[in-house]
Amino acid sequence: MRAVVQRVSQADVRVDGALEGQIGEGLLILVCAMAGDPSDAPEKLAAKTAKLRIFRDDEGRMNRSLLDTRGDALVVSQFTLAADTRRGNRPGFSSAAAPEEGHARYLQFISAMEDLGVPVETGVFGADMSVSLVNDGPITIWLDTES
């Protein structure tokens, strides 16, 4: 699985103009299931994400995790993280998991985050969404369970 994690002061996701999910301080997590992901990939990615020390401590250093700060997570599915741009200018997405598997892994990731005690808001899997955010830092990190 892959994720782009952004530390935010606020973020929301809308579908057809309707608000689906909204958070204050926390993480916006764009997540993509990859073909061939092991069954435990969502749990591993959730644990890494929730424990990632990218929030400021009392001295201003990035030393606290989402769990430490009791921040929220906005989890949005994004199959385009599987883009392969090595050949030409049109990205290929064949390395993304099939929609059924991708949806299952997305739900598994959300459940794993909640099991860790993280309050989670979500987008709508497979929908055309509008995501707004205020990136705090800016801090943006790429995570991949393969590496």
Nearest to 20 by CA among 98, 99, 132, 139: 132
108 is catalytic: no
79 is catalytic: yes
H or E stretch at 69: helix 66-69
Grouping H, G, I as helix, E, B as strand and the rest as coil, residue 102 is helix
What's the rounded Cα separation, in Å, for the pair 66 and 118?
A: 8
Catalytic residue among 6, 55, 79, 109: 79
Pairing of strands 2-15, 129-144: antiparallel
Contact indicator for 35, 85 with CB cutoff of 8 Å: no
Active site residues: 78-80
